[in-house]
Amino acid sequence: MKLKIKKLGIKTGGHLVALLHEKNLQELDIVPGDRIEIKKGKKKYVAIVDSTNQETTIKKNEIGLFTELINGELKEKLTVEIERAKKPQSINAIKEKLDGKELTNEETKEIIKDLIENRLTEIETTYFIAGCYKNGMTLNESKYLTEAIVNGSKKLEFKGEKVVDKHCIGGVPSNRTTMVVVPIIATAGLLIPKTSTRSITSVAGTADTMEVLAPIKHTKEQIKAIVKKTNGCMVWGGTLDLASADDMLIKFERALSLDPQGILLASILAKKASVGAKYVLIDIPIGPQAKVKTKKEAKELKNKFIRLGKKLDIKVKVMFSDGSEPIGNGIGPALEARDVLLVLQNNGPKDLRKKSLKMAGMIMQMAGIKFAKLKAYKILRSGKAYEKMKEIIKAQGGNEHITPERIKLGQWTTKIKAKKTGRVIAINNKILTRIGKRTGAPNEKGAGIYLHKKKNQIVEKGQPLYTIYAEKEEKKDMAEQLAKENSGYTIK
Amino acid sequence: MKLKIKKLGIKTGGHLVALLHEKNLQELDIVPGDRIEIKKGKKKYVAIVDSTNQETTIKKNEIGLFTELINGELKEKLTVEIERAKKPQSINAIKEKLDGKELTNEETKEIIKDLIENRLTEIETTYFIAGCYKNGMTLNESKYLTEAIVNGSKKLEFKGEKVVDKHCIGGVPSNRTTMVVVPIIATAGLLIPKTSTRSITSVAGTADTMEVLAPIKHTKEQIKAIVKKTNGCMVWGGTLDLASADDMLIKFERALSLDPQGILLASILAKKASVGAKYVLIDIPIGPQAKVKTKKEAKELKNKFIRLGKKLDIKVKVMFSDGSEPIGNGIGPALEARDVLLVLQNNGPKDLRKKSLKMAGMIMQMAGIKFAKLKAYKILRSGKAYEKMKEIIKAQGGNEHITPERIKLGQWTTKIKAKKTGRVIAINNKILTRIGKRTGAPNEKGAGIYLHKKKNQIVEKGQPLYTIYAEKEEKKDMAEQLAKENSGYTIK
């Protein structure tokens, strides 16, 4: 059936929906809620169908496209070929996985293909995640999944080059090592095309923080040019369609805050494989409010990462780090960006400096650089890393003359003070995150928290534990109120 | 926020969707895909939000409602109060169930309440079903679920009367005992307000078959009047909102053809409790293509039904029956309706007659009628059941002068013949169902299959096994083609 496209100008927030006239639905023998295939040239798109009989909205033989379906090929007034979509084969494999069977390579590929092509309903995809969550995944299943995710979407390729990458398992506020490590690594001559995420539940993600210094949305071609010029980049992965199946799965995991380990492993290594990384360092922070709570858990995860890496021909090293308190002093995009620049100027928080140097050294050593740790230190110490950072900022279209002092912080501030004298014996990451989110971060870049005291330091009653920054007075008040109920600090 | 309703005239096929102007979304601090509460008077409706900035579709401060949201209260031009919906509490309980914990009564009520009020996303509901499927349900959980389903929606109440009901677990074609049992029971003076379903995967459901004789869509008030007049009815349950949460769950189970037993039990007994039934007979057909395959499985299920019935204060009896071949000879709405009328005229298929009499007797005995089996026989034999059937047909608005001969069958017919001489040792229900669906049934009422031979009968090569009926020539051809590949009969 041939139908003419009409733009509806309606956004669903994600679902691909097309509006057809009831008469066309009858001819296709489908009902609203069913799926159709929209063909234009060689490309096929699968959409969920809504229906109408109001000629004012769309006429018979027109197809109304919701905004998410409009793209370079599907444009107003073009004619497209429509047919009803078949029920995807991969449903059988999803059922088997839910029932505890091990998926084959073929089955995994089919599931990911149907997912990417929008052939699976949300219900079907949820059962896939539930199956992986309840039954776990074998190493082979994780391998198949990683490869299916990588091959199912676009890649960034740097032929013949030594590409390295890093990843942190997460759960620790202001852990902005990436922005120190990338300039060091890039100076050392390795390629590190780093794609990062925005914050989902934290006060700031690396992408949010880098955005204080330079634009982070770039096309694949732009990224290649930036990396060619500087050896590194720090960009947002959100619109690059690298490992896009992984991005599609995250929504389903997040609904119940599930973290099926087999998918976690595949998800992380797929992102790395998509940028062609051959050497990957994984940081597992351990702490009561980090994602990984115990050394035992961390060791098991480490083992799996290394074994999966071998299967995928990626050299993986895993380090454990202290996840019991924030890294650095600033929490929030601008405050964290300032810490990063200070460290690159051989100033700034010692813990951020130390951890970043360690990571840079490990990555360089993996990639075959001799005396790697010393070299990393020299690159930072000499100011070359800072110069490299300015180069990257410039290449990404930012202002390379930025200095820590010029970074704009929220104008509304208030200090949270110690209620007694003693030693800081614990800092609750979750509570600080909650307070930090209340300040307006990460959307309001200047908002956040600056810690004056870290673990094991002595504080006197009435001394400030941290300063709250906000761009709006009411948000400062809201964060302050929360902090006064519970500062997140334990002093003894 | 107050918004004015505009009808969009767009059907989604189920989802409740409202279209808001982007500016209103910003004010509510939500994005497309989020949920809002629409308040009108005391009623609240939860909808998924789409957005637009095209003033031609809706203006700022208007809310465009998709067809599924339009009802008596939500009408064009009325003003409604909108706020963003909170994340439902019951997500925690769903997570716990997925993780294997036993649900409490309170948690179950919350989940069903949120389900009915459209507060749960499809992803969240799927995880609930996955949890019940993977971990099973305790008897208490099934009890809580049944009660939550019953109390969460409307009921049909017949105060002080002996209300009885029956249910068949399914998987056997043309098993139309209901239409023989109801007139017998109603003649015996018990109330049997029978609601049935249309076919989902079978060639005809009881609702499809009854529709050949009389309208099946009635309001609760009409049903009460019909039952008051005749003691019984055979209506479609689809629009009555009895145990509506159950109807909402079915879609999620069907996606992967899951049948979580705890939900199955609750689902069946909730429907019975919703019509106030105190005595319920459950028929479990056992056979290689029936839902229940073995006697052992059947016994376990029986046990659970009886125990759950006790907890719910419903007297439940369970019978096992032969599910290895169709019951009666006709398969398809008109052909089955003809069989039913013939049996009521003391004619027609013996297996349908025998099974129906047994069931009627068991139900009457449960409800305290003495010499129940003999009485059931006399009611049928005397023609009183047939008279009662005509009464019910008339009360439901059908033509009481209908006779078996006047039922219109498909005009296109073809006979499928035995390829060799021998005894019919097996009939494959699934294959007959597939052929039967191909004829156009149940949408085309006259379409279907009429069996000339049943199990254990002798057939000679070239004799017809069955006749295919269709209303359209091409459907007859398609069914015939399938039947020629595999007739579904095993002859030895």
At B10-66, the pLDDT tens digits run 999 888 999 999 999 988 888 898 999 999 888 889 999 999 998 889 999 999 999
Q: Are residues A76 and A101 in the same domain?
A: no
Whole-number Å distance between alpha carbons of A174 and A332: 7
Range B110-124 average pLDDT: 93
- Work out the pLDDT band at B244, boundaries 50, 70, 90: confident
Q: Is B384 helix (H, G, I), strand (E, B) or coil?
A: helix
Range B82-109 average pLDDT: 95
Q: Is A189 on the interface with B (CB under 8 A)?
A: no
Partners of B53 on chain A (C-beta within 8 Å) are 9
Return the pLDDT at B257: 84
- Work out the pLDDT band at A462, boundaries 50, 70, 90: very high
Q: Is B351 helix (H, G, I), strand (E, B) or coil?
A: helix
- Write the residue in A11, A32, A131 that is nearest to B12 by C-beta: A32
CA nearest A81: which of A18, A11, A152?
Answer: A18
Return the pLDDT at A248: 87
Is A283 a known active-site residue? no
- Write the residue in B9, B122, B126 that is nearest to A54 by C-beta: B9
Decide if B256 and A57 are in contact by the 8 Å CB cutoff: no
Q: Is A123 on the interface with B (CB under 8 A)?
A: yes
Return the pLDDT at B201: 80
Q: Which stretch of A135-139, A259-263, B184-188 has the lowest confidence by average pLDDT?
A: A259-263
Q: Is A8 on the interface with B (CB under 8 A)?
A: yes
Partners of A11 on chain B (C-beta within 8 Å) are 32, 50-52
Decide if B57 and A121 are in contact by the 8 Å CB cutoff: no
| Closest CA in chain A for residue B34 | A13
Report if residue B60 sits inside a domain.
Answer: yes
pLDDT at A68 over 80: yes
CB B170 within 8 A of CB B321: no
Q: pLDDT (tens digit, 9 = 90+) per residue, B191-231? A: 999 999 888 788 999 999 999 999 999 999 999 999 999 99
pLDDT at B181 over 90: yes
Partners of B57 on chain A (C-beta within 8 Å) are 8-10
CATH of the domain at B285: 3.40.1030.10
Q: Are residues B339 and B450 in the same domain?
A: no
CB A346 within 8 A of CB A381: yes
Q: Are residues B385 and B439 in the same domain?
A: no
Q: Across chain A, what does the average pLDDT equal?
A: 94
- Work out the pLDDT band at B389, boundaries 50, 70, 90: very high
Range B451-459 average pLDDT: 97
Selecting among A50, A259, A322, A477, the annotated active-site residue is A259
Using alpha carbons, list the distances in angstroms from residue B465 to A374, B90, B427. 88, 55, 11
Return the pLDDT at B425: 96
Q: pLDDT (tens digit, 9 = 90+) per residue, A250-301? A: 889 988 888 889 999 999 999 999 999 999 999 999 999 898 999 999 999 9
Return the pLDDT at B259: 83
- The residue ranking higher by pLDDT, B70 or B390, is B390
Q: CB contacts < 8 Å between A and B, how many?
A: 121
Partners of A122 on chain B (C-beta within 8 Å) are 121-123, 126
Q: pLDDT (tens digit, 9 = 90+) per residue, B340-358? A: 999 999 999 999 999 999 9
Return the pLDDT at A42: 86
Q: Are residues A338 and A446 in the same domain?
A: no
Q: Are residues A375 and A454 in the same domain?
A: no
Decide if A255 and B121 are in contact by the 8 Å CB cutoff: yes
Partners of B10 on chain A (C-beta within 8 Å) are 19, 50-52, 54, 57
| Total domains in the fold of chain B | 4
Partners of B133 on chain A (C-beta within 8 Å) are 98
Return the pLDDT at A238: 80
Q: pLDDT (tens digit, 9 = 90+) per residue, A308-355? A: 999 999 999 999 999 999 999 999 999 999 999 999 999 999 999 999
Whole-number Å distance between alpha carbons of B89 and B101: 16
CATH of the domain at A470: 3.90.1170.30
Report if residue B147 sits inside a domain.
Answer: no
- Write the residue in A11, A54, A127 that is nearest to B126 by C-beta: A127
Q: Which residues touch B378 (CB under 8 Å, ≥6 apart)?
A: none
Report if residue A403 sits inside a domain.
Answer: no
Q: Is A53 on the interface with B (CB under 8 A)?
A: yes
Return the pLDDT at B269: 95
Q: Are residues B241 and B360 in the same domain?
A: yes
Return the pLDDT at A483: 97
Return the pLDDT at B405: 96
Pairing of strands A164-168, A279-286: parallel
Decide if A13 and B34 are in contact by the 8 Å CB cutoff: yes
Return the pLDDT at B242: 86
pLDDT at A247 over 90: no
Q: Is B201 on the interface with A (CB under 8 A)?
A: no
Q: Is A52 on the interface with B (CB under 8 A)?
A: yes
Return the pLDDT at B364: 98
CA nearest B182: which of B276, B269, B281?
Answer: B281
Q: Active-site residue numbers of B?
A: 259
Residues 306-365 of A with CB under 8 A from B: none
Return the pLDDT at B306: 97
| Closest CA in chain A for residue B96 | A256
Measured on CA atoms in the order B417, B420, B425, B427, is the torsion positive or negative?
negative
Q: Is A130 on the interface with B (CB under 8 A)?
A: yes
Q: Across chain B, what does the average pLDDT equal?
A: 94
Return the pLDDT at B241: 82
CB B36 within 8 A of CB B44: no
3-state secondary structure chain A: CEEEEEECCEECCCCCEEEEEHHHHHHHCCCCCCEEEEEECCEEEEEEEEEECCCCCCCCCEEEECHHHCCCCCCCCCEEEEEECCCCCHHHHHHHHHCCCCCCHHHHHHHHHHHHCCCCCHHHHHHHHHHHHHHCCCHHHHHHHHHHHHHCCECCCCCCCCEEEEEECCCCCCCCCHHHHHHHHHHCCCEEEEEECCCCCCCCCHHHHHCCCCCCCCCHHHHHHHHHHHCEEEEECCCCCECHHHHHHHHHHHHCCCCCHHHHHHHHHHHHHHCCCCEEEEEEEECCCCCECCHHHHHHHHHHHHHHHHHHCCEEEEEEEECCCCCCCEECHHHHHHHHHHHHCCCCCHHHHHHHHHHHHHHHHHCCCCCHHHHHHHHHHCCHHHHHHHHHHHHCCCCCCCCHHHCCCCCEEEEEECCCCEEEEEECHHHHHHHHHHCCCCCCCCCEEEECCCCCCEECCCCEEEEEEECCHHHHHHHHHHHHHCCCEEEC
Q: Provide the residue range defining the domain that includes B109.
A: 90-136
Decide if A33 and B49 are in contact by the 8 Å CB cutoff: no
Q: Are residues B169 and B296 in the same domain?
A: yes
Q: Are residues B374 and B417 in the same domain?
A: no
- Work out the pLDDT band at B157, boundaries 50, 70, 90: confident
Decide if B33 and A13 are in contact by the 8 Å CB cutoff: yes
Return the pLDDT at A240: 84
- The residue ranking higher by pLDDT, B5 or B241, is B5
Report if residue A144 sits inside a domain.
Answer: no
CATH of the domain at B48: 2.40.40.20
Residue B251 tokens, joined:
């879609």
pLDDT at A200 over 80: no
Decide if A54 and B95 are in contact by the 8 Å CB cutoff: no
Range A375-387 average pLDDT: 98
Decide if B52 and A126 are in contact by the 8 Å CB cutoff: no
Report if residue A247 sits inside a domain.
Answer: no
Return the pLDDT at B379: 98
Report if residue B405 sits inside a domain.
Answer: no
Range B421-427 average pLDDT: 97
Q: What is the phi/psi pair of residue A307, to 5°?
A: -65, -40
Which of B368, B395, B422 is the C-terminal boundary of a domain? B395
Q: Is A134 on the interface with B (CB under 8 A)?
A: yes
Q: Are residues B350 and B205 in the same domain?
A: yes
CA nearest B15: which of A214, A32, A488, A294?
Answer: A32
Return the pLDDT at A239: 79
Q: Are residues A196 and A73 in the same domain?
A: no
How many Cβ atoms sit within 10 Å of the Cβ of residue B383? 12
Tokens 């494959």, residue located: B428
Report if residue A446 sits inside a domain.
Answer: yes
Range B373-398 average pLDDT: 98
Decide if A33 and B13 are in contact by the 8 Å CB cutoff: yes
Residue A347 tokens, joined:
């100033």
Report if residue B350 sits inside a domain.
Answer: yes
- Work out the pLDDT band at A417, boundaries 50, 70, 90: very high
Return the pLDDT at B250: 86
Q: Are residues A437 and A294 in the same domain?
A: no
Q: Which residues touch B402 (CB under 8 Å, ≥6 apart)?
A: B213, B341, B393
Return the pLDDT at A190: 97
Q: Are residues B462 and B479 in the same domain?
A: yes
- Chain A nearest-CA distance from B341, in A, is 33
Q: Which strand (E) or helix (H) includes residue B146?
A: helix B139-151
Whole-number Å distance between alpha carbons of B207 and B214: 10
Q: Choose, out of B30, B50, B51, the residue to mutate when testing the contact with A (most A CBs < 10 Å).
A: B50
